[in-house]
Amino acid sequence: MTRPPPLPDAERLIEVCEATWPPAGRRHLGAWTIRDGQGGGQRVSAATEDWPVTEADLPAAEAAMRALGQVPLFRIRAGEDKLDALLARHGYDLRDPVNIYAMPVADLLGGEIPPGTAYAMWPPLELALEIWADGGIGEGRLAVMDRAPEPKAAILVRIGDGPGGVGFVGIHDGIAMLHAIHVLPEQRRKGAATLILRKAARWAAENGADVISLIVTQGNHAANPLYVSLGMRLVGHYHYRRLAEGN
């Protein structure tokens, strides 16, 4: 039996995430990478360390983020325990631990997609924009999608006679990554999210990707079990530290 190739590690998937969900700008400042998110959410706004930092490095990063109109925010990856402890000492709250999942695209191709239930498109239809708006995915995140490079697609699905949900998918270095998945509240637990993943996998295969991945908060107790049930494998984690109010 032929064994499937190993999945990419968390570091590579984080690179794919940034390539398919890019900040408006990024620059290196001393030991830091500073990102200009322009309202696109934590993924595009968080600073990261380029090499181990010290107490003396922190003020420069904080000043740079404030100059962009952003509350100081850092992403903490595996092995960055010293940075995590430093930020905790300086009044930064832990926020949104996430799981990073991946699986071979081929493993999602066998499931049925009933005719007329799932569509891949770019640019997105107005209906897709309305569903994203229902989930609080507004202009800042739509701007992220607009500046993401091709290939990319909005995945729109129907449940019964009505809209079900939408997601965004892009490809970098042969890896497809899903972002901004939102299922309408009245359509949850009816298979909409599974349809989004299966349609995204078919689109990914047609566009040359052999791995599909996504990142989800650990607190999403509906999504995590679903992704595992579909065969996605947990590859890694990261979390954020955000300066607490009043500091």
Rounded mean pLDDT, 24-29: 98
Per-residue pLDDT, 2:
54
Which residues, in sequence order, are bridge partners of residue 47?
Answer: 74
The confidence band for 3, taking pLDDT boundaries of 50, 70 and 90, is: low
Which residues, at least 6 apart from 209, have a Cβ–Cβ distance to it below 8 Å?
Answer: 105, 171, 174, 175, 176
Per-residue pLDDT, 65:
98
Q: How far apart are CA 204 and CA 174, in angstroms?
A: 9
In percent, the amount of the chain with pLDDT more than 90 equals: 94
* Token pair belonging to 10: 């968390």
Per-residue pLDDT, 198:
97
Rounded mean pLDDT, 117-136: 98
Per-residue pLDDT, 112:
83
Q: Phi then psi for 200, rounded to 5 degrees?
A: -60, -40
Which residues, at least 6 apart from 174, have a Cβ–Cβ distance to it below 8 Å?
Answer: 208, 209, 210, 211
Rounded mean pLDDT, 151-177: 97
The confidence band for 246, taking pLDDT boundaries of 50, 70 and 90, is: low
Which residues, at least 6 apart from 145, have a Cβ–Cβ distance to it below 8 Å?
Answer: 124, 152, 154, 168, 179, 180
Rounded mean pLDDT, 60-70: 98
Higher pLDDT residue, 31 or 246?
Answer: 31
Which residues, at least 6 apart from 69, have a Cβ–Cβ distance to it below 8 Å?
Answer: none
Domains of the chain: 10-99+238-243 (no CATH), 101-237 (3.40.630.30)
Element (H, E) at 218: none
In percent, the amount of the chain with pLDDT more than 70 equals: 97
pLDDT tens digits for range 27-52: 999 999 999 999 999 999 999 999 99
Q: Are 142 and 182 in contact (CB under 8 A)?
A: no
The confidence band for 212, taking pLDDT boundaries of 50, 70 and 90, is: very high
Write the single-letter amino acid at 22.
Answer: P
Which residues, at least 6 apart from 115, have a Cβ–Cβ distance to it below 8 Å?
Answer: none
Q: How far apart are CA 84 and CA 244, in angstroms?
A: 14
Q: How far apart are CA 231 and CA 32, in angstroms?
A: 36
Rounded mean pLDDT, 187-193: 93
Res 245 pLDDT > 90 = no
Per-residue pLDDT, 6:
83
Q: Phi then psi for 219, rounded to 5 degrees?
A: -80, -5
Res 247 pLDDT > 90 = no
**Predicted model pTM:** 0.95
Strands 211-217 and 92-104: antiparallel
